[in-house]
Structure 1
Amino acid sequence: MSLIVGGGMAEGRSESMRRQQARLAAELRSAGKTWVEAAEVFQTRFRLNPRVAFRSVRGWSQAQAAEEWNRRWPDEPKTFKSFSYWEIWPGKGGYSPSHDNLVRLAEIYECSVADLLADLPSFRHLDSAAGATLAVPRGTTSTVAGEIMVPSEAETLLRDLLGRRPGAEASAPSQANATGLYRLPEEVDFGELAQVIVMWMQRTPHSPARRDMLGKLAAALAAAMAAPLTELAGLAEPASAAPAQDLGRFDPATLAHCEAMMPNLRKQGDVLGASTALPSALAYRRVAEQQAKAAPNGTQRDRAVAAYAELTQLTGWLCFNMGDYGSAQRFYDDARAAAHEARAVELVTYILCTMSHLATWQGKPRVGIDHAVAAAAWAEQSGSPYARAYAADVAVRALTADGQADRSRDALDREYAALQAALTGQGPRQSWWYFYDESFFWSTSAQNALKFRGADQVLAAADKALRLSDQGNLHERSFRLLFRAEAFARQQNLGLACQTITEVVELTSVNSTRRIEQRVQELRRSLDPWKRTRAVRALDQAIRAYRSTPVG
């Protein structure tokens, strides 16, 4: 029986999640971590707010937490609904716990009241005595949309990125110096960077100065990432770096540096946009190509060719997001051939999947199905559950686009089964699967529901995808929000539709790509019958404010 968006599937997945959480909690406690320290890990690992994290780290359901409450205070009983309301708060549908209830929750969870409220906003930055800082003071936290925790260490990171140091006088964005960034690309936490970018956007909406500042930040980081490999490696590893004139010879340290930069380049594209990451990807691809040509036959050459293949695929992906589909196809073809040459079966699977995605997006779902079938065959040879799951995922999207409801739901079943094997498995995970998790499955389910099911099912799946998402992946978050916006538009809920599209426009004011722009424009055109309403006029105003410069 096909899996659908509903309770049965959710129950199976939550059961799997509970097993993961129970195992992690046991490991943390056996390592001597306090409940507070363990809950902080849960907040980061599972994207939980602190009230949920403190309950989950003990392995309690909401009903079990209520039982613990009633055992201690039988004269003031609570049900699981009380815990649900407290945990949803400050989101819609939640209720704030009273002071007395917070104290009792803290007693149950053996923490402080402040620990339970760590996701609430901090406004210390508004104090004029605090100075002109760009992030929250050290030792405090803040949130975005009630979920995103902004680490205080991000303040130092952003000051470095903008050419400032703690205690130095604030400089204009145009004075930011990229020279000091050459030591940072491998150290940058793009998740933190994405969170602080969103925080800035919420603090200063519709600000040209803010857009200019973030644009300078993107340009500075791009300059650092695109710096010559030998200079970057020389600053980090003077003893092992290859001299510039010897780039044509094989050097294991140079190849290792290329491999280490690939995850950073992918995340840079997710946070700052494809056009920002593309020059760096091209530069590293050229170096990897030189290393592949110079590498001795055998294991070293296979490794170098595989690195070249992965960087070539990444370059194609960035071209795809920029709307240059012809270049994306050429890079994908080259990447596929190189991966086959390197006998990198799992990488071949991944590249075929991205080729399927490209074809489906271009309105060629039959070609997308063809690539997905080939990907599934290689995935079986790879032995990787991530490969099997993602091959099924692109098949779902291609079959959905081709109008094949039954086959697309069968593919969703296969994807879910492979995903569970991936989440519970202990084997290695290749770095290119960093984006693929349970939230991705729900995102594809939402896309399938847009074609074959009602708006309510779309919203249920999209909301699950957003709740489980890596908040630092602004690219994926934008598409998931657009699924919600389309569902709201189908319900003729213009206010929420326009509000959600506006959120995407703001979110991507720095990192937008042609593909995101295309979807925004399509959704805006669908609202033309209501263009004179207040909601649509406000959306048009936001688009004008944030899209005054061309999108790369």
Structure 2
Amino acid sequence: MDGAGTLDQIRRLRDRMAGQGATTSQIAATLIAEHDLNPRVAFRHALGLTQAQVADRYNRRWPSMVPKSRKEVSYWECWPGPGNTSSSSSARAPSYEHLCRLAQLYGCWVDDLLFGPRRDHGPAATTIPYQAITDILSNLTASDYAEGPGEDDSVAVTLRAPIGEGSIMVRLSRRQFTELMTASGLAALLPSSVLAEAAAGATSDVASWRQTLAAHQTGHHLLAPHAHITALTTTLADISTARDDAGTELRRQLLQVQAEYAEHIGWLYRECGDLAACGRWAERASKWAQQTGDGALATYMTLRRSTIALHQGDHTRAAQLAHSAHRTDQTGHSIPPALQGIAHLYQARAQAATGTIADRQLDRADELLAAPRQPDDPAFLRFYTPAFGELQRATCYMAAGRPSRAVTILQARLTRLPGIGHRDRALHLARLGAAHAADRAPDAAAIAGLGALTETRRARSLHALTELDRLDSTLSRTWSKQPKVREFHRALQAAASDLERHRT
């Protein structure tokens, strides 16, 4: 194996297979079969690496006071493997930690390095963003999924996320896949071929399209907003084509689905910082909802236009739109309590701009948002909870010139946010920064802004970036010479450039 001729043969075989699109595991398996290589040697050659290169990458990924050398990699490769009693002065068994790290560098599993690549890998791996895989792992760890599938619960999908030189791979059983697809919006990331089995449970095209929308809604943090918009508008065109050829009842159902898609697309445009497009899609969703008799969605779009007016500083129009949302919908039914609560909140925000806190409306909103939800409540209402009311209350205190109260609310709320809620954390931290600035605490404001930037990059939310722009203007206007303020300003400029590059 050490001869120059053999190394050349290995290199040529590796290059030929890689050129044909073979995976690292497939190349390693062939090298083991044809050249009788140790699995750890085979995976290294499958990636075209020398022992020195492996040591260098290991040290860059996991720096240590005593860095790994080429010789240590050689020791691990000379180790004959588990269960083998033969020993040699040139062989040392790697620790489990070392094996895990090698597996990450090589993009394989630990047992692949011990016993060679598995012959039955199940479905081919689907590549998804690194952030998505970390969110999925968080959900697995926080639930009973970590217990593992039963013997009859085979692998349904394999997910791979590149990380530098290697990758992380997660194999999900049918049970895990189906439940995570609903809970985490996994469907928003996966091609239709991967979703085929899960979609088989849908009873109609309407149900299937709603399932796709639900995945994009719950998985909004897994992709950049424009990626969701592209996928959803393509699906919306398919729904429109199907509606043209449908009968009367199916046409009404499809129009309802179109309204639901338009609502979410409008929200995504707000995340992109495009309030004009957000408003246009809100008008479209409202029109379609009214045509199908969905008063709740039409009312929600009225409130969407109210929040756009708040962002634009038109508090009179915002109050008028929020007030109009209190009336019963066009079918004669009262709107859901949560929508009434949102209307109270937006009226309170408009009033706060005059320096007055509408305590009665805020308290009433809390009661309405805490009211039990009904099984037939619209799906979009699941995002409107008492926690949403807390954020709006803090915004009211800010607008009314009482920032210290806002700081207290936002700090308490941040401790209860999930670690994977990057968009919500970005917005909360940005508003906490604004509250600190209004309370004349520039260092605290800049630190909150830096934290918000980290979350904004993860969520790729231009909406949060807009709030940070306002914070930066406030801080730079008064405290431009403060070191933390300058650090935040530079970091914000870099983040804005990166996010704009991703958007385009």
- Give your verdict on TM over 0.5: yes
Quote the offset at 1:303 in angstroms: 2.5
Give the equivalent residue in structure 2 for 1:130. 100
CA–CA separation in structure 2 for the residues paired with 1:356 and 1:313? 14
| Superposed CA offset, 1:412-444 (max 9, x none) | 13312212324xx55543211121111101000
Give the equivalent residue in structure 2 for 1:81. none
Give the equivalent residue in structure 1 for 2:352. 400
Quote the offset at 1:353 in angstroms: 1.3
Quote the offset at 1:130 in angstroms: 3.1
| Superposed CA offset, 1:314-360 (max 9, x none) | 11111122122222222111110100111112212222211211122
| Superposed CA offset, 1:467-524 (max 9, x none) | 4445443222221112211122233323321111111111121323332111111111
CA–CA separation in structure 1 for the residues paired with 2:185 and 2:256? 30
TM-score (norm 2): 0.62
CA–CA separation in structure 1 for the residues paired with 2:494 and 2:178? 31
Over 3 Å counting, the alpha-carbon distance change for 1:545 and 1:185 in structure 2 is: farther
Q: Is the 8 A contact 2:184 2:215 kept in 1?
A: no
Question: What amino acid is the match of 1:515?
Answer: H
Give the equivalent residue in structure 1 for 2:53. none
Q: 1:432 aligns with which of 380, 398, 402?
A: 380
Hey, which bits of structure 1, 4+ residues long, moved more than 6 A? 183-186
Unaligned runs of 5+ in 1: 1-124, 139-147, 177-182, 194-220, 241-251
Q: 1:290 aligns with which of 241, 252, 255?
A: 241
The answer to whether residue 491 in structure 2 is matched with residue 539 in structure 1 is: no
Give the equivalent residue in structure 2 for 1:501. 449
Q: Counterparts in 2 of 1:247-326, with a 5 A limit? A: 253-298=204-249, 300-326=250-276
The answer to whether residue 321 in structure 2 is matched with residue 371 in structure 1 is: yes
Q: Counterparts in 2 of 1:81-120, with a 5 A limit? A: none
Question: What amino acid is the match of 2:407?
Answer: L
Give the equivalent residue in structure 1 for 2:337. 385
Question: Cα RMSD between the aligned structures?
Answer: 3.9
Q: Is the 8 A contact 1:190 1:472 kept in 2?
A: no
Give the equivalent residue in structure 2 for 1:519. 467
Over 3 Å counting, the alpha-carbon distance change for 1:150 and 1:340 in structure 2 is: closer
CA–CA separation in structure 2 for the residues paired with 1:363 and 1:259? 35
Q: Is the 8 A contact 1:186 1:264 kept in 2?
A: no
Give the equivalent residue in structure 2 for 1:355. 305
Over 3 Å counting, the alpha-carbon distance change for 1:303 and 1:546 in structure 2 is: same
Q: Is the 8 A contact 1:268 1:277 kept in 2?
A: no
Q: 2:160 aligns with which of 153, 159, 162?
A: 162
| Superposed CA offset, 1:141-183 (max 9, x none) | xxxxxxx9664369x99x944357xxxx98557x99xxxxxx9
Give the equivalent residue in structure 2 for 1:70. none
Q: 2:291 aligns with which of 335, 341, 361?
A: 341
Question: What amino acid is the match of 1:262?
Answer: L
Give the equivalent residue in structure 1 for 2:427. 479
Unaligned runs of 5+ in 2: 1-94, 111-136, 149-154, 170-175
Give the equivalent residue in structure 1 for 2:68. none
Quote the offset at 1:239 in angstroms: 9.6
CA–CA separation in structure 2 for the residues paired with 1:190 and 1:238? 18
TM-score (norm 1): 0.57
Question: What amino acid is the match of 1:390?
Answer: I
Question: What amino acid is the match of 2:100?
Answer: A
CA–CA separation in structure 1 for the residues paired with 2:311 and 2:388? 17
Q: Is the 8 A contact 1:302 1:342 kept in 2?
A: yes
Give the equivalent residue in structure 2 for 1:84. none
CA–CA separation in structure 2 for the residues paired with 1:275 and 1:537? 31
Q: Percent identity?
A: 17
Q: Counterparts in 2 of 1:414-433, with a 5 A limit? A: 414-422=364-372, 427-433=375-381
Q: Is the 8 A contact 1:440 1:465 kept in 2?
A: no
Q: Is the 8 A contact 1:359 1:368 kept in 2?
A: yes
CA–CA separation in structure 1 for the residues paired with 2:410 and 2:199? 45
Quote the offset at 1:191 in angstroms: 5.3
